[in-house]
Amino acid sequence: MTSLGFYRSMLCMHIASKHIRLGAKVYEEALSLSQSVVSMGEEAGEFLPRAYLALGLCCSLQATEASLKADRDHFNKRALKALNKAYSLDPQDSQIAMYLALQLALVRQISASMEPLQMALALRGEDLHSLHLLALVLSAQKHHRHALDTVTLALTQHPDNFK
């Protein structure tokens, strides 16, 4: 793959992963682009963790839209594998940590989701999505007072998002 083709693939992968509900064709294209970067291995350099992130997000979204339990389980397993790989490659990326925590929570591994979520918050404590996920995880663990405190903190830090 040429350098220009590589960057084009990365741009397409990024755009595709941002547009969540655009149908199966976009998933297939995003998966294909992500997998092409992943297949480059070490040659992909700093883009490799992001390629695994995009791959994990695509699989997670496919799991959400799958009607059969076996398909949901398959895509959730693939999503977790890709997101864990992304996290192992770049544990200092708050977005990767947050999406790994979200995927773990989605498959009801609530306790396991706390470690990457705490890392995401340590890296970007003001991130609204991480704070929202923390409130949900704490609530699922029946730590309602802490969940309420987290919501209060989010309201204080992001008042414009709650109008």
DSSP secondary structure string for all residues of the chain: --HHHHHHHHHHHHHHHH-TTS-HHHHHHHHHHHHHHHHTGGGGGGGHHHHHHHHHHHHHHHHHH--SHHHHHHHHHHHHHHHHHHHHH-TT-HHHHHHHHHHHHHTT-HHHHHHHHHHHHHH-TT-HHHHHHHHHHHHHTT-HHHHHHHHHHHHHH-GGGG-
Please indicate, yes or no, whether residues 99 and 42 belong to a single structural domain of this protein: no
The answer to whether residue 85 sits within a structural domain is no
Total domains present in the chain: 2
Please indicate, yes or no, whether residues 51 and 95 belong to a single structural domain of this protein: no
pLDDT over threshold 50, residue 20: no
The answer to whether residues 110 and 141 touch, using CB atoms and an 8 Å cutoff, is yes
Please indicate, yes or no, whether residues 46 and 102 belong to a single structural domain of this protein: no
State the average pLDDT over residues 103-124: 95
Cα angle vertex 27, ends 23, 33, to 5°?
A: 145
Please indicate, yes or no, whether residues 96 and 63 belong to a single structural domain of this protein: no
- Tell me the pLDDT band of 7, cut-offs 50, 70 and 90: low
| pLDDT top residue among 144 and 18 | 144
Share of the chain above pLDDT 90, in %: 45
Structure-block tokens of residue 62: 């496919």
Please indicate, yes or no, whether residues 98 and 158 belong to a single structural domain of this protein: yes
- Report the CATH number that the domain containing residue 99 is assigned in CATH: 1.25.40
The answer to whether residue 152 sits within a structural domain is yes
The answer to whether residue 74 sits within a structural domain is no
Q: pLDDT value at position 1?
A: 46
pLDDT over threshold 90, residue 113: yes
pLDDT per position as a tens digit, 55-100 = 999 999 889 888 999 999 999 999 999 999 999 999 999 999 999 9
How many C-beta atoms surround the C-beta of residue 161 within 10 A?
10
The answer to whether residue 75 sits within a structural domain is no
Q: pLDDT value at position 121?
A: 94
Q: pLDDT value at position 42?
A: 81
Look up the domain containing 4 and give its range: 1-68
